[in-house]
């Protein structure tokens, strides 16, 4: 109903990256279906979902590639971030090693990816802040240093999930 001119739908390929268990699939399912499962199964290979949203009177068809974080699938992942408009790199705020993995993904994107791919870093599971192991300040400082968006999210409570996806268009070149 918000869309009058279908010719102005912009395709936007988004890839989610990050360690297994950080909540990539949960974030996508929260955004696309507004659902959450405490028993979300680990992704095999990758999964693909789409959602069209309107931001500032412009329609964007998000083509979302939710990759598998298990190491055995790593070699598949370049084909998903190649020519992506945006990469959302996810970590779990209660697991510091998953934040180290964010830095490794940024390095890989810089060497193997497109310079036009914008990066957003999501500190997920912010509902578990009592078990926090990564400070907001250090994550924000790292994001600033590399020119990325930083946001803490919870797929469980939905906090900041639509906001994160809705901020992507403003970041695009």
Give the residues lining the site for Mg ion (CB under 5 A): 24-25, 43
**Structure-block tokens of residue 11:** 């395709």
- Closer to ligand GTP by CB, 10 or 167: give it: 167
Using CB under 6 A as the criterion, which residues of the chain lie in contact with ligand GTP when the complex forms?
18, 20-26, 37-38, 40, 42-43, 68-70, 124-125, 127-128, 154-156
- Closer to ligand GTP by CB, 40 or 52: give it: 40
Binding partner of 124, given Mg ion, ligand GTP, none, CB within 5-8 angstroms per partner class: ligand GTP
* Closest separation in Å from C-beta 55 to ligand GTP: 23
Binding partner of 160, given ligand GTP, Mg ion, none, CB within 5-8 angstroms per partner class: none
* Closest separation in Å from C-beta 168 to ligand GTP: 19
**Nearest in space to 69 (alpha carbons), one of 109, 106, 102, 115:** 102
- Closer to Mg ion by CB, 21 or 96: give it: 21
**Rounded to an integer, what distance in angstroms lies between the CA atom of residue 65 and that of residue 15?**
5
Question: CB-based contacts of 37: which residues, under 8 Å, 6+ apart?
Answer: 26, 29
- Closer to ligand GTP by CB, 117 or 124: give it: 124
Which residues sit opposite 14 in a β-bridge? Answer: 64, 86
**Nearest in space to 169 (alpha carbons), one of 81, 88, 85, 109:** 85
The CA-based angle 161-136-90, given to 5 degrees, is: 45
């Amino acid at each position: 109903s918000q869309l009058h001119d279908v010719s102005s739908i912009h395709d936007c390929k988004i890839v989610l990256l990050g360690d297994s268990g950080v909540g990539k699939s949960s974030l996508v399912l929260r955004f696309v279906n507004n659902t959450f499962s405490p028993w979300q199964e680990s992704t095999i290979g990758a999964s693909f979902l789409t959602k069209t949203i309107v931001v500032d009177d412009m329609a964007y068809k998000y083509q979302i590639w939710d990759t598998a974080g298990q190491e055995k699938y790593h070699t598949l992942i370049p084909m998903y971030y190649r020519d992506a408009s945006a990469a959302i790199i996810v970590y779990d705020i209660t697991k510091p090693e998953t934040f180290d993995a964010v830095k490794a993904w940024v390095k890989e994107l810089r060497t193997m990816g497109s310079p036009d791919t914008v990066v957003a870093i999501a500190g997920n599971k912010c509902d578990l802040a009592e078990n926090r192991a990564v400070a907001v300040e250090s994550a924000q400082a790292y994001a600033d240093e590399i020119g990325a968006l930083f946001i803490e999210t919870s797929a469980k409570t939905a906090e900041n999930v639509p906001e994160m996806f809705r901020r992507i268009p403003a970041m695009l070149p």
